[in-house]
Amino acid sequence: MTRRAAIFAVGPLVLAAGAVSDTESRPSHPAATKAHVARVVDGDTIELTNHLRVRLVQIDTPEVGTGECFSRAAARELRAILPAGAPVTLEADPRLDRVDRYGRLLRYVIRGGRNLNLELVRRGAATSGSTRATAAATRRGSSRRQFRSS
Whole-angstrom distance, CA of residue 98 vs CA of residue 107:
7
Do the domain assignments include residue 149?
no
Residue 67 pLDDT class (50, 70, 90 cuts):
low
* Gyration radius from the chain CA atoms: 15
Do the domain assignments include residue 8?
yes
Q: What is the CATH number of the domain that holds 87?
A: 2.40.50.90
Give residue 114's pLDDT: 95
Q: How many domains does the chain have?
A: 1
pLDDT digit string, tens, across residues 110-137: 999 999 999 999 998 888 875 454 444 4
Do the domain assignments include residue 25?
no
Strands (E), 1-150: 33-42, 45-48, 53-56, 59-60, 87-91, 105-111, 114-115, 127-128
**pTM over cut 0.85:** no
Instruction: Return all residues near 33 (Cβ < 8 A) that are at least 6 apart.
Output: 89, 90
> Per-residue pLDDT averaged across 29-34, rounded?
74
Share of the chain above pLDDT 70, in %: 59
Q: Which domain holds residue 44?
A: 3-19+31-139
Q: Indicate the residue type of 134.
A: T
Helix residue spans in the chain (DSSP H): 3-18, 71-81, 116-122, 131-139
User: Does 120 or 89 have the greater pLDDT score?
Assistant: 89
